[in-house]
C-alpha cells in the first residue's frame, strides 16, 4: 500500500485504474479472508506471533484509508462497515491485554488512525 501511495501522483490514468482494481482486491481479501467476525485477524505463515496478524491487518486497513476517508488516495468510495470493523478490532485488542509489543503497536496504530 505504501508503494502505491507514494507512486500515485506519478501514475497515468490507465495505471491508476489498474491500481484501484488491485487495491480493491487486497481490501476485499483482508476483510473477507483475514479479518474475523470477532475482531481478530487470521494468522498465516508470515506471522511470527498472533500480534503480527493484528499489526499487519491494522496497518493495511489504515494505509488503504479504510478507517479514515482523508487517507483514501485511491478512491472516493465510502466504507460503511469501517466503524464496525474498527470497534470490533479495538475491543478484541483490548481483550488480549496487549501483552506483546505487536499487540500494543496494533492498538496504538488503530487509536491513531481513528476517523475524526
The model's pLDDT over 66-103, given as tens digits with 9 standing for 90+, comes to 999 999 999 999 999 999 999 999 999 999 999 899 99
Domain span at 59: 2-112
The model's pLDDT over 57-66, given as tens digits with 9 standing for 90+, comes to 999 999 999 9
Count up the domains in the chain and report the number: 1
Cell readout for 72 is 483514501
The whole-angstrom separation of Cα 111 and Cα 106 is: 9
**In this predicted structure, what is the pLDDT of residue 114?**
67
The model's pLDDT over 18-56, given as tens digits with 9 standing for 90+, comes to 999 999 999 999 999 999 999 999 988 887 888 899 999
The whole-angstrom separation of Cα 27 and Cα 24 is: 5
SS3 content of the chain, % helix, strand, coil (to 5): 65, 0, 35
Amino acid at each position: 500500500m505504501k508503494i502505491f501511495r507514494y507512486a500515485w501522483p506519478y501514475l497515468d490514468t490507465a495505471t491508476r485504474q489498474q491500481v484501484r482494481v488491485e487495491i480493491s482486491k487486497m481490501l476485499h481479501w483482508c476483510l473477507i479472508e483475514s479479518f474475523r467476525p470477532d475482531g481478530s485477524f487470521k494468522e498465516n505463515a508470515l506471522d511470527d506471533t498472533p500480534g503480527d496478524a493484528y499489526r499487519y491487518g491494522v496497518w493495511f486497513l489504515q494505509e488503504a484509508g479504510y478507517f479514515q476517508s482523508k487517507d483514501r488516495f485511491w478512491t472516493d468510495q465510502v466504507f460503511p462497515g469501517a466503524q464496525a470493523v474498527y470497534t470490533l478490532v479495538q475491543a478484541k485488542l483490548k481483550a488480549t491485554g496487549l501483552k506483546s509489543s505487536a499487540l500494543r503497536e496494533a492498538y496504538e496504530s488503530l487509536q491513531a488512525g481513528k476517523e475524526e
